[in-house]
Amino acid sequence: MSRFWKIALIVVAVIVVGAVGFRLLRKPATEDGAQGQQSGQKQGQDGKGQDTPVPVTVEPVVKQDVPVYLTALGTVQALNTVTINPQVSGQMLSINFKEGQEVKKGDLLAQIDPRTFQAAYDQASAKQEQDEAQLSTAQSTLKRNDALVAKGYVAQLDMDTFRNNVANLTATVAADRAAVRSAKVNLDYTRIISPIDGVAGIRNVDPGNVVTTTTSVVTLTQIHPIYVTFSLPEQNLDMVRKAAGVGDALEVLALDRADAHTIAGDGQLNVIDNQIDTTTGTFKLRSIFQNTTGDLWPGQFVNVRLKVRTVNGGLVIPAQSVQRGPDGDYVYLVQQDQTVKMQAVKVAGEVGDSHVMIGAGLALADKVVTEGQFRLKPGSKVKALKPGEVPTAPTAAEVDKAKKRAQQGGGGRRG
């Protein structure tokens, strides 16, 4: 083979190798370009999606008078608690109440065998009548002889004896009357009477038992009205004392342990204790409730709200509009161009079960998002729905996206 053909074969081989290499290198670049184009289209679609308004429920900031409450855990206590003990000893004939029954002052609770005490009363009465008869005779004798002294028929010494006899019998009759009253009291004590209006507890004796003055028959608790005691931190003392010194008694509410509903709302502050507990740094207060329906029960734990003042013209928004982020509380504030921004707020207190009062961060008539916040981020366009309307249900993808965004940003709904 000549030198010319050798050179030609080498050139052809180089061209073939170059063509193959070029094709291999060009294919990935083409695929990357296609993927880049698809990604760009997707981004374009996402950008277009961001321009689509997000339907959310919006409510304006309103102004209203807001009561300010101090809250505490309270204990219900009976107005009066009386343990019924017999005042005389004897056999219990009957129990005249049912356990758990409401009794009135003066109601018969139990009856002790009265026969012994009736006999003692009758004996004392007879003794009184006997001594009264003797006194009457002595008085008549004194009167007759007094008329004969002037005529000299009766000696003065005898008259002194007559007078002393009358005085002695008068004292005896007085003692008899006292003995009758004592016997009557003991006889009356055989009827055990309720000293208060209250609820009867579980009885401790049965008919037929012999009871003494140390025997506990039953305990009565007065629940109409009823007390609720609670404690507050000592830094609230001046506020409470100043509020209590102005106008009517302070209003007190009693709520269940979950703060879900009001048990009694007619309470009034009754007493502020005269000292601070140095071990806990708190002071004790007592409120009184009429408790006409019996919803409050002795020993019950309740949440107490003490109204100390009213803020006139407070700014109020729904509680569900407030979110909690890593930097504190915030709301989504709707701006003039119908986009939203995260607005930091300071919550000054609760207003009922569904609203809060804002101390800073918002102005009257500002509009905040109350439903649909999980779809939003700063700058999102929104479609405002009327109060009471609910945005359309989110898709599963939107929910997952909102969860990821909350996890990454550390934010979430206000608890």
pLDDT tier at 252 (50, 70, 90 boundaries)? very high
> Does the pLDDT of residue 47 top 60, yes or no?
no
pLDDT tier at 16 (50, 70, 90 boundaries)? low
Average pLDDT of the chain to the nearest whole number: 85
> Does the pLDDT of residue 316 top 50, yes or no?
yes
Residue 39 lies inside a defined structural domain of this protein? no
Predicted local distance difference test score (pLDDT) of residue 154 = 64
> Does the pLDDT of residue 36 top 60, yes or no?
no
Residue 193 lies inside a defined structural domain of this protein? yes
Integer Cα distance of 279 and 335 in angstroms: 52
Sequence-ordered list of residues with C-beta below 8 angstroms from that of 141, at least 6 positions apart, any chain: 162, 165
Integer Cα distance of 251 and 269 in angstroms: 7
Give yes or no for a contact between 179 and 127, defined as CB atoms under 8 angstroms apart: yes
CATH of the domain at 237: 2.40.30.170
pLDDT tier at 139 (50, 70, 90 boundaries)? confident
Give yes or no for a contact between 73 and 230, defined as CB atoms under 8 angstroms apart: yes
Top-confidence range, 48-52, 180-184, 324-328, 344-348: 180-184
Q: What is the mean pLDDT of residues 264-289?
A: 95
Mark whether 91 and 203 lie in a shared domain: yes
- Over the stretch 72-91, which tens digit does the pLDDT of each residue have? 999 999 999 999 999 999 99
Predicted local distance difference test score (pLDDT) of residue 160 = 73
Mark whether 275 and 338 lie in a shared domain: no
Integer Cα distance of 1 and 13 in angstroms: 17
pLDDT tier at 42 (50, 70, 90 boundaries)? very low
Integer Cα distance of 269 and 267 in angstroms: 7
Q: What is the mean pLDDT of residues 256-284?
A: 92
Residue 294 lies inside a defined structural domain of this protein? yes
Q: What is the mean pLDDT of residues 176-191?
A: 96
Predicted local distance difference test score (pLDDT) of residue 32 = 47
> Does the pLDDT of residue 111 top 60, yes or no?
yes
Extract the tokens encoding 403: 């969860």
CA-based end-to-end distance of the chain: 92
Mark whether 225 and 107 lie in a shared domain: no
**HSE-up of residue 240 (Cα within 13 Å, Cβ side):** 26
Q: Which of 311, 328, 354 is the last residue of a domain?
A: 311
Predicted local distance difference test score (pLDDT) of residue 66 = 87
Residue 281 lies inside a defined structural domain of this protein? yes
Residue 233 C-alpha from the chain's centroid: 17
> In 104-153, which ranges are continuous DSSP H helix?
115-149
Instruction: Report how many domains make up the chain.
Output: 3
Integer Cα distance of 331 and 325 in angstroms: 10
Mark whether 61 and 173 lie in a shared domain: no
Residue 38 lies inside a defined structural domain of this protein? no
Residue 202 lies inside a defined structural domain of this protein? yes
Mark whether 328 and 301 lie in a shared domain: no
Mark whether 247 and 304 lie in a shared domain: yes
The more confidently predicted of residues 8 and 177 is: 177
**HSE-up of residue 81 (Cα within 13 Å, Cβ side):** 9
Integer Cα distance of 199 and 184 in angstroms: 29
Range of the domain at 291: 70-78+219-311
Mark whether 245 and 301 lie in a shared domain: yes
Mark whether 106 and 123 lie in a shared domain: yes
Predicted local distance difference test score (pLDDT) of residue 286 = 97
Sequence-ordered list of residues with C-beta below 8 angstroms from that of 328, at least 6 positions apart, any chain: 344
Q: Which of 311, 346, 376 is the last residue of a domain?
A: 311
Mark whether 194 and 233 lie in a shared domain: no
Sign, CA torsion 47/48/51/54:
negative
Integer Cα distance of 309 and 112 in angstroms: 56
Give yes or no for a contact between 278 and 227, defined as CB atoms under 8 angstroms apart: no
CATH of the domain at 60: 2.40.420.20
Q: Which of 266, 288, 311 is the last residue of a domain?
A: 311
Share of the chain above pLDDT 90, in %: 55
Predicted local distance difference test score (pLDDT) of residue 412 = 46
Predicted local distance difference test score (pLDDT) of residue 396 = 75
CATH of the domain at 185: 2.40.50.100
Of 15, 22, 55, nearest in space to 334 by CA: 55
pLDDT tier at 415 (50, 70, 90 boundaries)? very low
Mark whether 167 and 201 lie in a shared domain: yes
Mark whether 159 and 246 lie in a shared domain: no
Residue 317 lies inside a defined structural domain of this protein? yes
Q: How many CB atoms lie within 10 A of CB 77?
A: 18
- Over the stretch 212-238, which tens digit does the pLDDT of each residue have? 999 999 999 999 999 999 999 999 999
For the chain, what's the residue count? 415
Mark whether 327 and 303 lie in a shared domain: no
pLDDT tier at 183 (50, 70, 90 boundaries)? very high
Residue 257 lies inside a defined structural domain of this protein? yes
The more confidently predicted of residues 3 and 193 is: 193
